Amino acid sequence: MSATEIDFYELLGVSRDADGAAIKSAYRKLAMKHHPDRNPGCGESEAKFKAISVAYDCLKDPQKRAAYDRYGHAAFQNGGGPGGAHGNADFGDIGDIFETIFGSAFGGGGGRPRPRRGADLRYDMQIGLEDAFHGKSTEIEIEVSRSCDTCHGSGAQPGTHARTCNLCGGQGNVRAKQGFFVVERPCPNCHGAGEVITSPCRDCRGEGRIDVPQKLEVDIPPGVDTGTRIRLSGKGEAGPRGAPSGDLYIFVHVQPHEIFQREGTTLATRVPITFTKAALGGSIEIPGIDGEELTLEIPAGIQSGKQLRQRGAGMPVLQGRGRGDMVIEIAVETPTKLSKEQRSLLEEFRELETGDECPQSQGFFKKIRSALGA
């Protein structure tokens, strides 16, 4: 397809009275659709892309558009094509399309390069379960880059200043034409900064930042768990040459507890009780994570493995209200040391047993005898 064979307005799909914004919008949509990188190996798409680029190069320019409206394609014959002697489209606009498709790596923004933000940092903090329950304020010390006091982050020796890069004109990148395409790369002279420091600061060596130990106060809110991330804005690495600092992320790791196991806001623990307490019932005192004693009622006849739930005795809800529950698993302990009197009493109790006292045991042996036909 040749741009000189089809009406430019028809190529872009706009009316002859379309304004510049409508023409540009139509061109962008078609360019994205037919770009060779989106249609590799498709000759028709490549030809279409070139044709609409030539058409747009003409119609976006008021003088060229007026000449085209009056004389048609004849206005650009004898080497006077809308894109110059070779009819190429304006690569600034193609750069816009590249940026839309591939991101800012292909340029199109113009102006000086934006300051490169400093890197984010990570700090791993170990805390106990009690600290996770109550929350705490603690101080940490890390080594992090900070703006150089000597040059105030400029990177230049005091009394001097950076000059605009004469290779890229302060853009931070340079463009090179490769056939039909324009490739944009960081400027090799200023390395993308847009400026060149001829007299670097002796303390920071032109970076505008130096590594220093720093103490920071960190507030740990109640209810944090392993994996909780706390963000300290602007406490990361300083950006080069006065650019904004990154952030510091505190990753919390809650250490295992000797009594409680945690699952979200629920705390679980295993409590041994005597077999007499299990048989007769009663109450026991167990420690809570908040340091207060909890009274737990034991129903008579409770079995090992039975779980009791204490409402509101678990961990606090992070950045919310209320607390989770505590789940207590009962473990009935069989005595291993008996006095003569205790043994005598137990033997007397055994003589009085009928089997109805322990229905699970009695039912189990009945099933075995039934299965064996005894």
Known binding residue 204? Answer is: yes
Known binding residue 148? Answer is: yes
Known binding residue 165? Answer is: yes
Known binding residue 187? Answer is: yes
Known binding residue 58? Answer is: no
Structure tokens at 187: 């400027």
Known binding residue 201? Answer is: yes
Q: What is the dihedral of CA 194, 200, 203, 204, to 10 degrees?
A: 20
Rounded distance, CA 45 to CA 53, Å? 12
Q: Are 290 and 133 in contact (CB under 8 A)?
A: yes
Rounded distance, CA 282 to CA 188, Å? 82
Known binding residue 42? Answer is: no
Q: Are 188 and 194 in contact (CB under 8 A)?
A: no
Known binding positions:
148, 151, 165, 168, 187, 190, 201, 204
Known binding positions for Zn(2+):
148, 151, 165, 168, 187, 190, 201, 204
